[in-house]
């Protein structure tokens, strides 16, 4: 699709009010559309938003859309009755003789249009009193180009919602209904569409703030362009920008996961045989190395969260409780490692066919030096740990090397892939946990690319200095960077392979 240069248009931002009933998900929708988890306040308690708040969508470094997050409409039925009664009282107050003296054209001129009736209400004392919240919404709506009418599709179609639509329509601004929470049980999508059609609102966007549908954001702006034809260039550019942004974000995420794979594969600790033979010392060494891998994965997860506009430990709605704080996924669980070893295949998983003696206490770590010189040589060749000479020297010096098994690398890669896919499909209204899974539960189409990714990461095993913790003042070697970029392509292949197994993929 051709790139549209927004800097040449000279247009002002499109002003869009986000309106709807209390707790319909207005603020959550804006968090998702703007990737701003820190915007506004989200809570299950009604009436969280009490004032009109603005937030802008930046495209090509320019403010293209200015959203207005409005308070929830709380008593539209009473307000509609009040406005109708006020207009009726005014008509009654007009003397009959005066009405009879006016010509038909003058009488028609005396009729108030719906927007005039709204403005008349806003000028009255009730707009600053009992109907203050509703007045804030209507005042904002009169001063924008269009509005998103956010609807909680789980709600039954009650008279209060009819009154809300009538009041909002009276402001004479284009309304684009956005059906929210459609994935929830008890969604009344068909009933809502029927009601909206009755009021002439036939263009409806299906959008779930917790888990947006395929291309939901793009459709939102493209449908809006049918209502704002004079802003079509801007809105088309937004749709193109969203595609470009998605591709850039995925590329950066794949590269970050590739960086993790290189770091984990390069992780190695050298210990003496005497120290390793002491149970308490061995347990401490194993736990320390396992913690290093967990910390590496945690840092990667935190970076992915930031990349996709989420944050850890949100007060009101933690988007990913699973990664808030410490991982609950056990990368070293025996069953997960066994399943990963099966996926890697015989002779690929560490120690599968080379006779290396592995202590059960290692749990996902590999003892580089075997029980005999042949075992050490076999382990070196199977794992690709690096120059064979170093292994032989360590064997003669009575040293052991602890490294991370391929099966652990596969479990880590599978989890990061799942996290990436979940973030791509996740809106900022989501509160449920992402269930942990092992490598065997990764999408079927992604398993082979994951195994190939682990194999491709083997060159890092010969470079313990490639672990981030070991290169504090060291500039990244070109070979390391080249490997990261190659692995990023394999991560992307695994993600693309899983796209077909996720109907909601963007």
Four-CA torsion 331, 336, 337, 342, nearest 10 degrees = -140
**DSSP labels, 393-428:** HHHHTTEEEEEE-HHHHHHHHHHHHHHHHHHHT--T
Taking Cα atoms as reference points, which of 62, 52, 84, 47 lies closest to residue 11? 62
Under DSSP, the state recorded for 152 is: E
The Cα 178–Cα 21 span in angstroms is 12
pLDDT digits (tens, 9 = 90+) for 75-106: 889 999 999 888 666 655 555 554 444 444 44
Per-residue confidence band for 371, with pLDDT thresholds at 50, 70 and 90? very low
Give the total residue count for the chain.
506
pLDDT digits (tens, 9 = 90+) for 406-444: 888 888 888 888 888 888 877 655 555 554 444 445 556
Q: Are 491 and 415 in contact (CB under 8 A)?
A: no
The Cα 484–Cα 478 span in angstroms is 10
pLDDT digits (tens, 9 = 90+) for 483-492: 999 999 999 9
Instruction: Say which range, 8-17, 90-99, 107-116, has the weakest mean pLDDT.
Output: 90-99
> Which residue shows structure tokens 């580089």?
368
The Cα 460–Cα 26 span in angstroms is 47
The Cα 79–Cα 120 span in angstroms is 13
pLDDT digits (tens, 9 = 90+) for 173-195: 999 999 988 877 788 999 999 99
Answer with the residue of higher pLDDT: 338 or 360: 338
Starting at the edge strand found earlier in the chain, the sheet holding 365-367 runs 268-272, 399-404, 365-367
pLDDT digits (tens, 9 = 90+) for 386-400: 454 555 455 545 677
The Cα 67–Cα 85 span in angstroms is 33
**DSSP labels, 28-69:** HHHHHHHT-TTSS---SSTT---S-EEEEEEETTEEEEEEEE
How buried is residue 93: exposed, middle or buried, by Cβ count under 10 Å (0-12/13-18/19+)?
exposed
What pLDDT is attached to residue 326? 39
What values do phi and psi take at 328, rounded to 5? -100, -10
What pLDDT is attached to residue 401? 77
The Cα 364–Cα 282 span in angstroms is 14
Report the half-sphere exposure of 243 (CA within 13 A, side-chain side). 13
Taking Cα atoms as reference points, which of 73, 77, 80 lies closest to residue 24? 73
Under DSSP, the state recorded for 387 is: -
pTM attached to this predicted model: 0.72
pLDDT digits (tens, 9 = 90+) for 131-184: 998 999 999 999 999 999 999 999 999 999 999 999 999 999 999 999 988 877
Q: Are 213 and 207 in contact (CB under 8 A)?
A: yes
What pLDDT is attached to residue 294? 85
The Cα 113–Cα 109 span in angstroms is 10
Domains present along the chain, CATH in parentheses: 6-75+123-227 (3.40.50.300), 243-499 (no CATH)
Enter the tokens of residue 334.
């025996």
What pLDDT is attached to residue 319? 36
Enter the tokens of residue 241.
């920008």
What pLDDT is attached to residue 68? 92
What pLDDT is attached to residue 109? 45
Is the pLDDT confidence value at 241 over 80?
A: yes
């Amino acid at each position: 699709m051709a790139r549209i240069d927004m800097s040449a248009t000279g247009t002002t931002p499109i002003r869009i009010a986000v309106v709807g009933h209390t707790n319909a998900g207005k603020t959550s929708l804006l968090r998702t559309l703007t990737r701003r988890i820190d915007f506004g306040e989200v809570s299950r308690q009604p009436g969280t938003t009490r004032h009109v708040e603005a937030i802008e969508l930046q495209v090509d470094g320019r403010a293209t859309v200015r959203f207005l997050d409005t308070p929830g409409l709380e008593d539209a039925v009473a307000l509609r009755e009040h406005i109708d009664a006020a207009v009726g009282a005014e008509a009654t107050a007009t003397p009959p003789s005066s009405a009879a003296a006016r010509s038909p054209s003058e009488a028609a001129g005396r009729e108030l249009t719906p927007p005039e009736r709204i403005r008349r209400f806003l000028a009255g004392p009730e707009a600053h009193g009992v109907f203050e919240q509703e007045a804030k919404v209507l005042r904002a709506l009169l001063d924008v180009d269009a509005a998103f009418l956010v609807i909680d599709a789980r709600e039954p179609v009650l008279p209060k919602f009819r009154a809300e639509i009538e009041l909002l329509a009276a402001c004479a601004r284009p309304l684009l209904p956005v059906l929210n929470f459609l994935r929830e049980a008890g969604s009344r999508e068909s009933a809502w569409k029927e009601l909206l059609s009755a009021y002439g609102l036939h263009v409806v966007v299906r959008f779930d703030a917790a888990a947006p549908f395929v291309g939901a954001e793009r459709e939102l702006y493209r449908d809006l362009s049918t209502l704002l034809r004079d802003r079509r260039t801007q809105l088309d550019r937004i749709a193109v920008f969203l595609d470009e942004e998605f591709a850039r974000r995925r590329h950066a995420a794949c590269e970050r996961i590739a960086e993790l794979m290189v770091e984990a594969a390069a992780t190695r600790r050298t210990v003496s045989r005497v120290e390793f033979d002491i149970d308490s010392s061995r347990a401490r060494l194993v736990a320390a190395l396992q913690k290093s891998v967990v910390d590496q994965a945690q840092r990667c997860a935190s970076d992915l969260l930031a990349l996709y506009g989420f944050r850890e430990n949100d007060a009101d709605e933690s988007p990913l409780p699973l990664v808030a704080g410490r991982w609950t996924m056990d990368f070293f669980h025996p069953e997960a490692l066994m399943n990963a070893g099966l996926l890697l295949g015989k002779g690929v998983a560490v120690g599968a066919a080379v006779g290396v003696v592995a202590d059960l206490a290692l749990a996902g770590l590999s003892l580089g030096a075997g029980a005999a010189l042949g075992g050490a040589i076999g382990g070196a060749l199977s794992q690709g740990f690096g120059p064979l000479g170093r292994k032989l020297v360590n064997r003669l010096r009575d040293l052991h090397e602890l490294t991370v098994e391929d099966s652990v690398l596969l479990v880590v890669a599978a989890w990061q892939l799942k996290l990436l896919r979940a973030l791509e499909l996740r809106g900022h209204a989501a509160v449920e946990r992402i269930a942990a899974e092992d490598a065997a539960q990764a999408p079927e189409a992604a398993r082979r690319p994951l195994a190939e990714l682990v194999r491709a990461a083997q060159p890092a095993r010969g470079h313990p200095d490639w672990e981030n913790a070991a290169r504090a003042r060291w500039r990244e070697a070109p070979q390391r960077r080249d490997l990261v970029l190659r692995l990023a392509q394999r991560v992307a292949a695994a993600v693309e392979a899983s796209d077909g197994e996720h109907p909601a993929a963007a």
